[in-house]
Structures are given as C-alpha cells and as structure tokens.
C-alpha cells in the first residue's frame, strides 16, 4: 500500500458510521442530518404492519392474534403480546410431539414480510429431513417471543421456533430473530431459549440462519433442553464478504 | 407494619416498605405495568413524605424481598457494615438527603459499605435531578486494571465496536475510528453477535492483538454470557474482563442463567489469569431498570429499587466497570426521554453511593419516545454528576444491537464542555500517537496497518 489510508476509507470495511469527519468536537452537518433521516425512517418502521393475507397464503399458515389490542397497547403491555387473545388457541389443531414454527410481527414487520417466505420452507425441509413432524406454520400478530410458548402448548409441540421482527435500528430495519424453545409452555424464561439474531440481507443470510437453527435443534434434542445449558458450539461459519459499500 | 402520611387532609396508608417505596417513585411506565405505581400524584407525594420520615435504621429490619427466598437479600443483609453506617445511623431518609447535600466528598464516599440498596433507592425517590447530580458528584470511586478509572476530572469512554456478524474488519475499522476520536479508555468491548465459544475466542484474540500491538493502556472485553467466557478462559483465550448482565433478585439472575456462586467462580478464574498490570478489578457488569419485571421476578417491588439491589450483587465482586443500559429496555419500562433521563441519573447516583465505578449507557431504542436531544441533555447532566464512563459508538448508531447510544463525537463534546480528560495513562498514549488534539485526515502509519 503506497497511498496513505484516509480516515473516510474506513467505511469500506463496515456499514457502521465511521469516518464521518469532525467539525470542532461535533458532527459535520451532512452526517448529522443523515442520522436524523435514518431515525425518522426507523420511527415509522416501528408502526409498520404485516400484510397478513398475503403472508398466510404464501406460507399456508394459520393466523392468530395476541391479546394486545393495538400497537400502542402492544408497546406498553408486553404481557399482552405474549398471550393469545381469547379463543385463538382453538384455531390450533393439536399435533403432539411436533415441531412448531411461529412467524410473529414483533417490533417491525418489514423484515418478516420480506424474509419469512424464504426462511419458512427452508426450515420445514430441513426439519423434515431430520425426521420431525412439522405443524403448519402459525402467524401471530402484535406478538412477542413468548407467544410461542402459548402456541406450542396448544399444539402439544416438543419444540417451537419463533421467527420474529427485531426492533428496527438506524441501519437495519429488516432484521429477523429466531428463538428456539424446547417443551414450550407459558412461564418459560428467556434463559430457557436459544436465539439467532440479525437475519437480513446485510447481516446473517437466510441459508446460514437455517443451518444454525437446524444445528441447535439437533443439539437441543440430544441435550433434552434449550437455553443457557445448550452452548452454540457449531463450528464458526465462513465470514461474509465484507467489502459492502459503507456509504449510505 | 404500615406507614402513613396525610396530604391535603387525606390520610394515605401503605402496607409495607415495598409499597411505600413503589408509591414514592416518580412515575414510569414499568411500575404501571407491574401494577405498583402510585394511583395519584397526591398518593405519591404522601408516600414521599412518609418515606422522608422513615429512620434509615428501619431498612436493616425490613427487606423488600424475603431473606429466606432470595440470595440477593441475604447478600445485602449479611454484608452490611455497621461501622460505616454509624455516621448516619441516627438519620431519617429525609435527614440523609440533607446530610448528603451538605457533606464533604470523603465523608460521602466512606459510607458505601454501610449503605443498603434500599436506603439509596429511597433517598433517590425524594431527590430532584439536581440533587441526583450534586450528590453523585461527591462520590469517589477509583478502579484499576491496565489504567486508572474514576479519578476526579476524568471521564472515560467504552469503545463499542459491535458488528452484525463479528466481522474482524468491521470491528477493526470501528476500533480505529474510536481511537482516532479519543475513545477506549474504559474498555474496548464488543457485544458478540452470537454466544459461540469459537467466535468468542476469535474476537478476544483480535482485540487483544490490537491492544498489544499498539501498547494501548486499556482493557478488552467480549460481552458474552459468563459461562461462555469461562469456557474461553479454559481454552486459554486472552480474557481481561469477565462480563455479565445482572439484576436485583435471585429470580432475575436465574433468568440470566447466573447465581452468586457462579459469578464467584468466574471471578476467581479471571483473578487467576492475573492480566491486570495496575490493579485486579476484572469484572464488568451491566444492569437496567425493568429487567426483573421482564423476567417475572420482581416480587411486587418497583423497578428502581430492584435496580439498586443489582448494585449489591455487583459490588460483591469489586468490578472495574458497571453500567446501567438505561434506555435499552424499551418504552414499556421507561416510556420517553423524561423517564430515561431521570432513571439514568438515579442509577448513577445509587451505584456511586454503593461504591461502584458507575457508567451509564446513555441510549434509546426506536420504539421509545426519545431522540438525540434527550441524549444530549442526559449526557451533559451525567458529565456534571461525574459519571465514570459512557459508551462510544460510531455515529451513535449500533448496527448490531439496533439502538442509539452516545457517539465518539459525544465523548469529545462532553469532555470539552466540562473540562474532563481521559484516564491519565490513556491520555498519555493518545499524545504519543499524535491523536490527542485533532483527528488526522490520513491515518498515522503506525495504526493504518491494522486493516
């Protein structure tokens, strides 16, 4: 390397807001307003909603609602987002010992809408290969992670994976997480789950997320539980090509 | 036994200490969610009056979570030091506030082993923001590993180079950016994208290589679960600080997959490595109001009192760093900028009074009613309060955790605005590297090779 590395060149290596420059001790105006714009987009994303009929048709899914009455109620009352609304459990046909897949809007519907149509069939295929009986997917609206416990219990599932929209950040408003819980039933704690996060085009790709979940499912079946006792000792995945454009 | 106070001709009664503390708490959404908040402004001020009249000694005889049922309560009761408590043993909570506002820093600092979390939580409930600031500014807490944190006139920064997939180049670029802007004296600490032992060892190796190559007088940390870090230590990975999230009841700690005995085991393992050169403070804890309710382990206690109890867990292990991640948990616990601001200052004061090297992650999520203006005011208030450290994230945008914290630029701002300096060893290193006064447009050749 002969030319000096410039501060702004750091942006070649990361989507983080590096190399922004400096005016006194503050941010240059353009960088400051870039941030304000990103925050405005993220604020709007929190209030985005799933196109439930389209997603249900694509996945062949059953649709249930949480007990949260609306978005504001969902934000202020997480307990409601963890429970099924009255009567919803009756929509779920029990399938004892099955693997349950739940698709939930969570804190941002955008990434769920975009990625669930690829993720769900890939997981179904892998779980079938591993010998699981997989229940028809369940879409849950205004839902938190723990709604999978109520759904899994209603189905009599041996294990549940909840695919859920993650809280939108400034740089990623399309991110999904997957939470795996063995023997789901209301009252499970977060220490009894394993999580794969940041599934999105610029983060963990769908194929890697599927491979990791299938590894965790197999390890959980061997161990007889999920949670902190189940260590993710899957050999490290090959790294993504990192030269993503850093500019925004 | 019950408590009562009369406000405006109406007598308000409170069944026990737990209810009195909850009703005296300035309003926040998490206490409403738990169903423990005061039902009216009048009931709240009545509780504050009754609390102000309560002798501090009472806290030694009534626990908010039963002793038999909770190891955190047992730790609090069993580790109380009467000699340190003696100077204030005759005071009420209100009298304690008055005493603190008039006291000298050395006298305030000496109290720590004699104070319980519930005492300092009670105090904070009858404090305005300016009281939270001015009392905290009297507390002196100094810790050491490879540098000296918490000296008067200093304000340190945790360099937080999180990457969505723990890509080494992404982490390295952010480390460089932070160093160019004077951040990293508290710790260079990565939240890993996955809690995988191989991955943890890889990121630990990267951070240690950078620190070692440039002889940076600081410490590194990957904020994995304590059990994963213990596995990494068994594999010989370069672990400076052991990290863990903790809370204020045995139940919330169980939800985090930890106990006091597990933390003690990890502490012993880290001490045995002996990697600190100036001192052996080798733990790093994060906390935050609302975690116990989130885990269903709150026992009907308000979230701020439980947060203070988490500090009793922390101080047992003489940590290098502790911070509340105040705005991370979301609007169901702290709804907006006003609630986040007050909670951040409460957490800082309570941690400092209990003798902790208290930092604050001045932050918010995109589903909270908060923005950069709120963060600027909280950061400035905390700077005046003498906060030990804050976070430094490129452009305030954590692309892995998807929330906004303080930026490297914010660190420069608050140091300049308040005349604060980095930890002395780190400040000298910045000067040696030519980074102390300005950020060069071209990277110094010494560090450009990192990428």
DSSP B55: B
Task: Supply the range of the domain harboring residue A124.
Answer: 52-223
Q: Is B167 annotated as a binding residue?
A: no
Closest CA relative to residue B116, chosen from B188, B185, B161, B61: B61
Residue B90's domain comprises: 13-136
- State the nearest Cα–Cα gap between B190 and chain A, in angstroms: 14
**Confidence bin at A235 (pLDDT 50/70/90):** low
ipTM: 0.94
φ and ψ of A133, to 5 deg: -90, 120
pLDDT at A241: 35
Q: Which residues of B touch A178 (CB under 8 A)?
A: none
Structure tokens at A163: 């695919």
Write out pLDDT tens, residues B232-241.
999 999 999 9
Q: CA-CA-CA-CA torsion for A141, A146, A148, A150, nearest 10 degrees?
A: -100
How remote is the C-alpha of B255 from its chain's centroid?
A: 19
Q: Where are the beta strands (DSSP E) in B196-254?
A: 220-222, 242-245
- Determine the Cα–Cα distance for residues A165 and A142; give it in Å rounded to an integer: 11
For the cut 70, the answer to whether the pLDDT of residue A13 exceeds it is yes
**A94 and chain B in contact, CB less than 8 A:** no
Chain B closest-CA separation from residue A167 CA (Å): 7
pLDDT at B294 over 90: no
Contact A236 B164 (CB under 8 A): no
Domain boundary (B136, B162, B188) is at: B136
Does B235 lie in the same domain as B168? yes
Residues 6+ apart with CB under 8 A from A27: A20, A21, A35, B395, B407, B409
**In this predicted model, what pLDDT tens digit does every residue of B61-82 receive, in sequence order?**
999 999 999 999 999 999 999 9
**C-beta atoms of B443 and A15 within 8 A:** no
Q: How far is CA B345 from CA A72, B294, B313, in A?
A: 27, 22, 20
Query: Per the CB < 8 Å rule, is B173 touching A26?
Result: no
A94, A111, B191 from B96: Cα distances, Å:
60, 52, 39
Whether A161 is covered by a domain: the verdict is yes
A29 touches chain B (CB under 8 A): no
pLDDT band with cut points at 50, 70 and 90 for residue A243 = very low
Query: Does A210 show up as a binding residue in the annotation?
Result: no
pLDDT band at A238 (very low <50, low <70, confident <90, very high): very low
Q: Which residues of B touch A46 (CB under 8 A)?
A: 366-367
- Based on the structure, what is the number of domains in chain A? 1
Q: Does the distance separating the beta carbons of A190 and B164 come in below 8 Å?
A: no
Read off the CATH number of the domain in which A95 is found: 3.40.50.11240
- The shortest CB-CB distance from A242 to any of B167, B174, B295 is to B167
Burial group, residue B243, by CB count within 10 angstroms (0-12, 13-18, 19+): buried
**Among candidate residues B79, B108, B136, the one where a domain is terminated:** B136
Q: Which two tokens stand for residue B191?
A: 């939240």
Tens-digit pLDDT profile for residues A138-183: 999 999 999 999 999 999 999 999 999 998 889 878 889 999 999 9
Q: How far apart are CA A206 and CA A101, in angstroms?
A: 16
pLDDT digits (tens, 9 = 90+) for B168-223: 999 999 999 999 999 999 999 999 988 889 999 999 999 999 999 999 999 999 99
Instruction: Kindly determine whether residue B332 and residue A190, on different chains, have CB atoms separated by under 8 Å.
Output: no
Domain edge (last residue) among B96, B114, B136: B136
* 8 Å CB contact of A75 and B197: no
Residue A248 inside a domain? The answer is no
Question: How many domains in chain B?
Answer: 2
Which of B197, B332, B440 has the CB atom closest to A77's CB atom? Answer: B332
Residues 6+ apart with CB under 8 A from A232: A194, A212, A215, A216, B194, B195, B196, B197
CA dist B153 to A82, A228, A233, B142, Å? 47, 41, 45, 12
CA-to-CA dists, residue A228 to A186, B41, B403, angstroms: 18, 43, 24
Are B131 and B149 members of one domain? no
Inspect the interface and report whether the beta carbons of A20 and B394 lie closer than 8 Å: yes
Distance CA B402, CA A200 (A): 13
């Amino acid at each position: 390397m002969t030319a000096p590395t410039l501060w702004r060149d750091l942006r070649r290596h990361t989507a983080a807001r590096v190399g922004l420059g400096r005016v006194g001790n503050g941010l240059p105006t353009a960088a400051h307003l870039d941030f304000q714009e990103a925050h405005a987009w993220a604020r709007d994303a929190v209030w985005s909603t799933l196109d439930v009929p389209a997603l249900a048709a694509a996945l062949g899914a059953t649709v249930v609602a949480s007990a949260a009455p609306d978005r504001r109620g969902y934000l202020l009352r997480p307990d409601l987002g963890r429970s099924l609304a009255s009567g919803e459990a009756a929509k779920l046909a029990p399938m004892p010992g099955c693997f349950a897949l739940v698709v939930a809007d969570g804190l941002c519907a955008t990434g769920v809408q975009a990625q669930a149509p690829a993720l769900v069939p890939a997981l179904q295929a892998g779980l079938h290969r591993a010998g699981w009986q997989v229940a028809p997917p369940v879409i849950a609206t205004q839902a938190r992670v723990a709604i999978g416990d109520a759904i899994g219990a209603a189905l009599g599932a041996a294990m549940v994976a909840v695919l859920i929209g993650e809280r939108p950040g400034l740089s990623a408003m399309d991110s999904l997480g997957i939470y795996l819980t063995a023997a789901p039933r209301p009252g499970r704690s977060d220490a009894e789950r394993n999580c794969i996060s940041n599934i999105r085009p610029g983060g963990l790709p769908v194929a890697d997320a599927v491979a990791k979940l299938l590894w965790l499912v197999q390890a959980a079946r061997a161990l007889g539980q999920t949670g902190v006792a189940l260590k993710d000792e899957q050999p490290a995945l090959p790294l993504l090509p990192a030269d993503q454009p850093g500019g925004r | 036994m019950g408590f009562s106070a009369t406000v405006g001709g109406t007598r308000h009664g409170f069944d026990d200490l737990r209810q009195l503390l909850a009703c005296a708490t300035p309003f926040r959404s998490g206490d409403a969610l738990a169903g423990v908040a005061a039902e009216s402004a009048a009931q709240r001020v009545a509780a504050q009056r009754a609390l102000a009249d309560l002798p501090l000694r009472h806290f030694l005889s009534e626990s908010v979570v039963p002793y038999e049922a909770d190891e955190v309560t047992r730790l609090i009761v069993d580790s109380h030091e009467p000699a340190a408590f003696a100077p204030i043993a005759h005071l009420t909570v209100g009298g304690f506030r008055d005493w603190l506002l008039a006291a000298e820093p050395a006298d305030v600092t000496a109290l720590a082993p004699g104070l319980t979390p519930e005492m300092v939580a009670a105090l904070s409930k009858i404090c305005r923001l300016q009281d939270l600031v001015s009392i905290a500014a009297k507390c002196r807490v100094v810790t050491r590993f490879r540098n000296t944190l918490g000296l008067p006139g200093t304000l340190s920064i945790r360099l937080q180079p999180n990457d969505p997939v723990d890509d080494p180049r992404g982490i390295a670029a952010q480390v460089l950016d932070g160093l160019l802007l004077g951040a990293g004296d508290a710790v260079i600490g990565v939240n890993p994208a996955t809690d995988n032992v191989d991955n943890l060892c890889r990121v630990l190796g990267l951070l240690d290589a950078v620190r070692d190559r440039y002889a940076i007088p600081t410490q590194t940390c990957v904020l994995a679960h304590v059990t994963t870090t213990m596995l990494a230590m068994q594999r010989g990975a370069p672990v400076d600080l052991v990290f863990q999230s903790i809370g204020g009841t045995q139940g919330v700690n169980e939800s985090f997959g930890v106990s006091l005995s597990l933390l003690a085991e990890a502490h012993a393992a880290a001490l045995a490595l002996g990697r600190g050169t100036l001192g052996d403070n080798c733990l790093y804890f994060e906390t935050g109001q609302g975690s116990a309710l989130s885990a269903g382990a709150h026992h009907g206690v308000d979230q701020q009192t439980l947060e203070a109890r988490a500090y009793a867990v922390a101080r047992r292990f003489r940590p290098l760093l502790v911070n509340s991640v105040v705005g991370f948990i979301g609007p169901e616990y702290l709804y907006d900028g006003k609630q986040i601001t007050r909670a951040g200052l409460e957490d800082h004061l309570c941690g400092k009074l209990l003798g902790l090297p208290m930092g604050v992650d001045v932050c918010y999520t995109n589903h909270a009613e908060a923005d950069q203006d709120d963060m600027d005011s909280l950061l400035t208030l905390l700077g005046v309060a003498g906060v030990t450290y804050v976070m430094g994230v490129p452009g305030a945008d954590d692309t892995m955790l998807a929330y906004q914290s303080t930026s490297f630029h914010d660190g420069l701002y608050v140091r300049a605005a308040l005349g604060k300096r980095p930890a002395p060893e780190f400040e000298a290193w910045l000067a040696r590297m030519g980074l102390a006064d300005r950020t060069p447009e071209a990277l110094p050749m010494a560090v450009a090779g990192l990428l």
